[in-house]
Copies of this chain bind each other. A is one copy, B any other.
Amino acid sequence: MAIWLDQASADFEQRFSAFLLTKREVSEDVNATVRAILDDVRTRGDKALHDYTLRFDRVDLATAGLAVTQAEIDAAFNVVDTSVVDALKLAAERIERHHARQMPKDDIYEDALGVGLGSRWTAIDAVGLYVPGGTAAYPSSVLMNAVPARVAGVPRVVMVVPAGGGAINPAVLVAARIAGVSEIYRIGGAQAVAALAYGTETIAPVAKIVGPGNAYVAAAKRQVFGTVGIDMIAGPSEVLVIADKENDPDWLAADLLAQAEHDVGAQSILITDDRALGEAVETAVERQLKTLSRAETAAASWRDFGAIILVDDLKASVPLANRIAAEHLELAVADPDSLMADIRNAGAIFVGRHTPEVIGDYVGGSNHVLPTARSARFSSGLSVLDFVKRTSILRLGPDQLRALGPAAITLAHSEGLSAHARSVAIRLNQG
């Protein structure tokens, strides 16, 4: 039972505003625990990793080894079905080809005064990739994080993944090799984040940490931010489907449930101008729910956060979509381009009835790490840009300094910074 919001109702604006503010995450305060673990790993290094891994993952690194060996990765290829290996290779190839187009170009030039200006891009020296253990270990996420890092030219991509109970999902190891990960360590939780940020005897520190994780991992990433860079802290996933009446309700129901099965905090929203379609989709959702492997999760998500929004005219869906700023936006309408032109806030847009969002999760080529919880209003999905940084370059000769120096001196004095003024004036023989 999703909620219904009807734009024709007098209280629509009020209800829609409240709907936008719905909190879908329980935030757990684990900061003190995490701080203690970070400090301990920083001080005791490998020894602390051994202790926490024994306690939390029940894995003895003295026998299992901290580093995952090449032989283990080779063995994983023998366990994983060939069709999965091939699908991962196809996905990696498409992700690589798409992301290669995102590589920014240096721009070094001289202006009319002869001042040399420039932006020079370099890859980050080393990146850590956190991969959760257990069922949340998605090989597709390994590709989505590691392939863009490689495309950016990051020379060292270090993966950490906990082996809860001793086993790492072999498909994750396969994905790591396909993506060109350089090193893999059998650790997880805040202790793994600490090892990546501060380094230990065995693990050299990285400069940035990316990848999803539980509340402890998220808190640890926030706490080491500054020492290293981090990616966004992702919340539960969401999809917004804008649909006209010419849709098969079963297709739309399947798309809404694909999002809902991720997490009880996930959110699936349908906007349509046809009440009958909305009702048919609702019925189809209930029917399809019965046969899902993750029916309980999907049902809870749909019940608590699902919504069907009725508009008079599909054009009215655009301003609503811009306020929702969904991670995923499907345009299941006859003329998607006319709507798309005015969409400003969305992590990714899936255009037309034959582009289910799931294609973007795996093999579309675009990245599936996208801004959640309305953050598409101000941020973007993961890309090659997250693995490079820009240095600006300024180059003046005596002539250029004579041309620009006096204005700099004026501004420095106006801001009360006399050493600033002197640093220019002294070169103009006014020091």
Give the docked Cα–Cα distance between A135 and B415 (Å): 8
- Asked whether, in the complex, the Cβ of B395 is within 8 Å of the Cβ of A351, the reply is yes
- Contact for A125 among B97, B294, B377, CB less than 8 A: B377
- Do residues B261 and A420 form an inter-chain contact, with CB atoms below 8 A? yes
Interface 9-mer from A54-62, A309-317, A397-405: A397-405
**For A124, what are the chain B residues with a Cβ–Cβ distance below 8 Å?**
377-378
User: B378 near A420 (CB under 8 angstroms)?
Assistant: no
CB of A409 to closest CB in B, whole Å: 9
Is B354's CB under 8 angstroms from A420's CB? no
Let me know if A419 is at the binding interface, CB within 8 A.
yes
Q: Report if A359 contacts B (CB, 8 A).
A: yes
A113 to chain B, nearest CB (A): 9
CA distance in complex: A373, B104 (Å): 25
Report A252 CB to chain B, min CB distance, Å.
9
**Cα separation A360 to B393 with both chains bound (whole Å):** 9
A133 at the interface (CB under 8 A from B): no
* Interface residue A229 (Cβ < 8 Å from any Cβ of B): yes
Which one of B207, B359, B377 contacts A377 once the chains associate, using CB atoms below 8 Å? B207
A83: B residues at CB distance < 8 A:
410
Inside 8 A of A104's CB, which chain B residues have their CB? Answer: 104
B426 touches A362 (CB 8 A): no
| B395 near A347: Cβ-Cβ < 8 Å | no
Structural contact, A389 and B415, CB atoms closer than 8 A: no
Q: Which residues of B contact A86 (CB under 8 A)?
A: 407
Note all chain B residues with C-beta closer than 8 A to A408: 87, 358-359, 361-363
Instruction: Please give the count of copies of this chain that the complex contains.
Output: 2
Q: At the interface, yes or no: A115 with Cβ under 8 Å from chain B?
A: yes
Interface string of A59-82 (1 = CB under 8 A from B): 000000000000000000000110
Q: A391 touching B254 by the CB < 8 A rule? A: no
Least CB distance, A404 to chain B, in whole angstroms: 5
With a cutoff of 8 Å between Cβ atoms, the chain B residues found around residue A250 in the complex are 426, 431
Q: Which of A160-168, A273-281, A380-388 is the interface stretch?
A: A380-388
In the complex, the 10 A-B pairs of residues with the closest C-beta atoms, listed nearest first: A229-B378, A351-B395, A87-B407, A380-B390, A257-B419, A254-B423, A366-B392, A258-B423, A261-B419, A293-B418
Q: Given A98-B117, A348-B392, 7 more contacts at CB 8 Å? A: A80-B414, A84-B411, A101-B107, A122-B344, A260-B419, A349-B392, A362-B411
- Provide 21 A-B residue pairs closer than 8 Å at the C-beta atoms, listed in order of the A residue: A87-B411, A90-B407, A101-B109, A116-B351, A117-B366, A139-B414, A140-B411, A208-B378, A228-B378, A343-B391, A348-B391, A348-B392, A352-B397, A354-B401, A355-B395, A362-B411, A363-B407, A376-B389, A378-B389, A383-B390, A385-B385
- Chain A: residues with CB nearer than 8 A to chain B? 80-81, 83-84, 86-88, 90-91, 94, 97-98, 101-102, 104, 107, 109, 111, 115-117, 119, 122, 124-125, 135, 138-140, 171, 207-208, 226, 228-229, 233, 250-251, 254-255, 257-258, 260-262, 288, 291-294, 298, 340, 343-352, 354-367, 370-371, 373, 375-381, 383, 385, 389-398, 400-401, 404-405, 407-408, 410-412, 414-424, 426-427, 431
